[in-house]
Structure 1
Amino acid sequence: MIDAIDQAAGLSPDDALYQTRRFRPEFVQGAEQCRQSVLQPENDAGLAHELRIALARRMALLNNDPPLIAEYDALLAALSPGEQLLALANGEKGLSRLFAALARHVDFITLTPDRAQAEDIRLLEKAGLNNAQIVALSELIAFINFQTRVAAGLRLMRSA
């Protein structure tokens, strides 16, 4: 089974790196389960699937990852998003209060995670997010940035 990381790295079952990843199948399965749980959880905690995909696309854009941008573009297109969601996904400004707060946090943590402070969480609370939503957002940010880095590393290894 080709998972999202294989797809983002351009791996196929014929590739040695694809086979190498399968030396630890629990990591492959775990990453895919994590992906599903952050993008389309059973309980979305008020962060809808299309919002999560838009934020994932935004992070792929921030990380300058064309394969992941294309993946999230396709997923988002299938959901027929509105203008605000597309603006959020495309890294645009002029967003609603909530989307602006989400964008600021996603951008900040994706680009400068080492500068995060408790006040950054307070800003999310002021925008109306509750604890469950903040945790869900943090999980999404962590996974998408993990996915980006693993796929980029596999691409580098493949090109060597």
Structure 2
Amino acid sequence: MTDAIDKAAGLSPEDALYATRRFRPEFVDGAELCRLSVLKPANDQGLAADLRLALAQRIAALNADHALVQDYAAQLAQGQPTPTVLALAAGETRLAEPLATLARHVDFVTLTPASAEAGDIRRLEAAGLTSPQIVALSELIAFVNFQTKVAAGLRLMELS
């Protein structure tokens, strides 16, 4: 089965690298389960699917991963995203709260993760996010950044 990382890397079942990934099926399965848990969890903690997809698209764009940007944009378009959610996905920064704080946090953690500190979490709390929402947001940020790095590495290996 082709997973989202294969798709992002442009791998197909005929590729040797696709088969190589299957030497560790627990990693392939685990990454796919993680993707589903951050994008379509059973309990969204008040962070709706369209918001999650918009943030994922934004993170992919910050990582200059055009394949993932297109994939997340297509998934987002399947729903009924509001113009505000589409603006968030497109990288807009002039947004109403709490989206403005979410956007700043996603951008900051994606671009300068080593600079993150406790005060960044306090800003999310001040914007009205609950602890479960902050955890869910952190998981989403971590996964999409992981996904972009793995897909980029696989693309480089495919070129070799």
Same fold (TM over 0.5): yes
State whether structure 2 residue 115 is matched by structure 1 residue 115. yes
Q: Which stretches in structure 1 are left out of the alignment for 5+ residues?
A: none
2:48 corresponds to: 48
Q: Give the percent of matched residue pairs that are identical in Structure 1 and Structure 2.
A: 66
Give the whole-Å Cα distance in 2 for the aligned partners of 1:152 and 1:90.
21
2:35 corresponds to: 35
1:29-78 deviation line (CA, Å, top 9, x unaligned) = 00000000000000000100110000000000100101000100100111
Q: Which stretches in structure 2 are left out of the alignment for 5+ residues?
A: none
The alignment of Structure 1 onto Structure 2 pairs a total of residues equal to 160
Give the whole-Å Cα distance in 2 for the aligned partners of 1:124 and 1:76.
24
TM-score by length of 2: 0.99
Provide the secondary structure at the position in 1 that maps to 2:93: coil
Shift of 1:96: 1.0
RMSD: 0.5
What stretches of structure 1 move > 6 A for 4+ residues in a row? none
Matches within 5 A, 1:120-131: 120-131=120-131
Give the whole-Å Cα distance in 2 for the aligned partners of 1:144 and 1:83.
23
Matches within 5 A, 1:60-79: 60-79=60-79
1:154 corresponds to: 154
Shift of 1:11: 0.2
Amino acid at match of 2:89: A
